[in-house]
Amino acid sequence: MEFLNPAALYGLLALPLLLIPYLIRRKPPRIIFSSLLLFTEPARRAARRPFGRLRLPPIFFLQLLLLTLLVLALGEPVFSVRAAKVAIVLDNSASMQTLEDQQTRFALAQERARGVLADLGATGQVDLYLTVPRLEKVRGVTFGTAEAAGIVGGLEPSDLADAPIDYQKTLSGLAKDQEYDRVYLITDHPALGQADILKVITVGQPRDNYAITSFNISHSSLVGSRLEGTAEVANYSTKDGRIRIVLRAGGGVISSRELVVGAGKTASANFAGLPTHPYYEVEIEAHDALPLDNRRFAVPPASQNFRILGISPRPQALSSLRSIPGVSLDLVAPQDYEKTDRTGYGLEIFHYSTPTALPGNPALYVLPPDNNPFAGLDSPVSQPVVSSWRDPHPLTRYINFALFRPTFSRPLRPRVSGEIILESPAGPLAFATERQGVRQLVLGFDLFPYLGRENLPVSVFTLNLLDWFVQGSGATGRVTGQPLTFGTAQPGNFLLTPRGDKVSLEPGSNRFPATFFQGIYQIDRGTYRELFAVNIDNRNESDLRAPTPIEIRDLSSRGDKFAALFSIWPYLLLLSLLLLFIEWFARPRPVRTAFGPR
């Protein structure tokens, strides 16, 4: 027998309260009687005892039974009918690596899963599912219980954040489609409600935790060669904490800081003047619940000089960018673009042109032809006025838009979702978006040539724009589960995962989706290595104080007569009512007597 609403069983703890009225009644009515002469000595002895003799009448036991049955009925007891086919859905998100008394939550979940399998018997059929990166059947096959127990033991949690799954809908659909007798979801999220087919098994308790929520390595300025790092530490607990944060690179500690982080707050540590290393790792020295988020990785910006590939039918307009210190520019004609090796560029500028396929590098589109994928262009407007702009935004800082007057513009008609950065009365002039983790900016006016002080507002916008692309390239890490995009792979290129797995890259491929673990991913291109830092998306995973509950309602709408659970609470309720009826008649009525209490 099990309970669909086990929280109600805490009501059993309240049953001793039933004694209270009887103990209160122990203060007996005071009755004046003619004489105590005939009341015997044993009674006097009883009276001398501190609490007298507690005699519980039979009605007490009837009431106790009545309340017990009511509490049990509220617990919604059900008899499990042995299921033949079940699904076990294991939450393998990053928070399942949380330690619970030397064991991870995932290990506890494995134990619970094995318990479910043991109850199932030898003839049961089991489908195992993992929740991340998406709800998917393990190996795509159905297992026997013995085999499933072995498979469960071999599973491990990933560093991925929780997938946005509507468990109510998804699992009910799964149960219906696959005709499961029961679906067990084993997770670290609490469940609100239960259903007879879907049973949520929660492992772990709310815990305090510290986490590094961001870590960036960047140049101190667009043209500077010095590197600086910024790490942010969050305290997901109810107490202030003093944390030591250590920066490692090249196999040793290169810097450390002491941080005081208030309860529920964040604190930042800055590391300036960092020597150049292929990658950096920052770690907090805290013995907390989730060790995974105590580390974070970052790689420095792709190159010391910002490399730009310009694709333009009028390349001389772009060549003015070379006057900006720290910027190197290669120019190609649009027809030569496909033949060009675009590896190592921090930005591709499509000037009056557009690629046939989305580039792997960040890209700026200046008045692109109408066949570009991001925005259509309206009729030209001479000397447009910028009527509104996004503020604050890295692209619009330090600019006096009253003086910002491009020669002409063509207002944009965005075709994809993104941010409108600048807007004129005729329509948007600048539109930013991000595709596959790569920044894209479309402009409805021509920035070039770069005129420096001669056209200060537009020049400042150009510098902001380059800085924005620098920030978006390389230095900002990726999150687990987000595909890596890189320059087109050549034959013999391979990728090395943080776990040391060597994955050969298909020639021509530019994406690697299986970033399931935190760490440094390296693409070996023979002559050089390209590094990517991948960290967990710990917006929800690190805060272990109050996990989001999973709302479950009754899913028993399968339409067939079979029910995995046989509810007995209606019978208990009926029995309780019967007892209440009996109690109503059995309860002794107060006797009307002249010897009333005085």
Residues 6+ apart with CB under 8 A from 193: 5, 551, 552, 553, 554
CB of 41 to other proteins, least distance (A): 10
Distance CA 494, CA 46 (A): 91
Stretch that binds other proteins, among 156-164, 418-426, 565-573, 590-598 (CB under 8 A): 590-598
The token duo for 378 is 């309206």
User: What is the C-alpha to C-alpha distance for residues 159 and 290, in angstroms, rounded to an integer?
Assistant: 11
Stretches 31-39, 114-122, 233-241, 263-271: which one binds other proteins (CB under 8 A)? 31-39
Please tell me whether residue 16 binds other proteins under the rule CB under 8 A. no
Helix (H) or strand (E) holding 538: helix 538-541
Segment interacting with other proteins, rule: CB under 8 A, options 60-68, 133-141, 353-361, 589-597: 589-597
- Asked if residue 33 binds other proteins (CB under 8 A), the reply is yes
Pairing of strands 438-443, 363-366: parallel
* Closest separation in Å from C-beta 48 to other proteins: 8
Q: Is 591 in the site for other proteins (CB under 8 A)?
A: yes
Contact yes or no for 81/565 (Cβ under 8 A) = yes
- Asked if 202 and 188 touch (Cβ cutoff 8 Å), the reply is yes
Contact 309, 330 (CB under 8 A): yes
- Residue 182: beta bridge partners? 86
Contact of 322 with 316, CB cutoff 8 Å: no
Cβ at position 54, least distance to other proteins in Å: 9
Site string (43-62) toward other proteins, x via CB under 8 A: xx-xxx---xx-x-x-----
Complex with other proteins: residue 546 or 591, whichever CB lies closer: 591
Least distance from C-beta 63 to other proteins, angstroms? 15
24 is an interface residue for other proteins by CB under 8 A:
no
- Report the DSSP pairing between strands 388-389 and 99-100: unpaired
Question: What is the rounded distance in angstroms from the CA atom of residue 498 to the CA atom of residue 492?
Answer: 20
- Tell me how far, at minimum, the Cβ of 587 lies from other proteins, in Å: 12
Measured CA distances, 499 to 139, 337, 493, 518 (Å): 21, 36, 18, 9
598 binds other proteins (CB under 8 A): yes
**How many residues are present in the chain?**
598
Tokens of 549: 């509950």
Vertex 557: Cα angle to 552 and 560 (nearest 5)? 145
Which one of residues 13, 17, 20, 38 is an interface residue with other proteins (CB under 8 A)?
38
Q: Which is nearer to other proteins, 63 or 235 (CB)?
A: 63
Bridging pattern class, strands 143-144 and 125-130: antiparallel
Q: Which is nearer to other proteins, 59 or 460 (CB)?
A: 59
Residues that bind other proteins (rule: CB under 8 A) add up to a total of: 31
Of 1, 7, 12, 39, the residue at the interface with other proteins (CB under 8 A) is: 39
Residue 427 falls in which region: left (phi positive, over 0), alpha (psi -120 to 50) or beta: left
Q: Which of 29/507 has CB closer to other proteins?
A: 29
Residues 431, 375: contact at Cβ < 8 Å?
yes
The answer to whether 149 and 66 are in contact (CB under 8 A) is: no
Q: Does 397 bind other proteins (CB under 8 A)?
A: no
Q: How far apart are CA 326 and CA 322, in angstroms?
A: 9
Q: Kindly state the tokens that stand for 405.
A: 């007057």
Selected from 17, 37, 122, 402, the binder of other proteins by CB under 8 A is 37
Q: Based on the shown chain and the rule CB under 8 A, indicate whether residue 30 belongs to the binding site for other proteins.
A: yes
The residue (of 33 and 585) whose beta carbon lies closer to other proteins is: 33
Nearer to other proteins among residue 47 and residue 260 (C-beta): 47
Distance of closest approach, residue 181 Cβ to other proteins, in angstroms: 54
* Stretch of 21-29, 257-265, 409-417, 431-439 lying at the interface with other proteins (CB under 8 A): 21-29
Closest separation in Å from C-beta 65 to other proteins = 21
The distance of closest approach from Cβ of residue 22 to other proteins in the complex, given in angstroms and rounded to an integer, is 9
State in angstroms the smallest separation of the CB of 14 from other proteins. Answer: 24
- Residues near other proteins (CB under 8 A) are 25-26, 28-40, 43-44, 46-48, 52-53, 55, 57, 588, 590-591, 593-595, 598
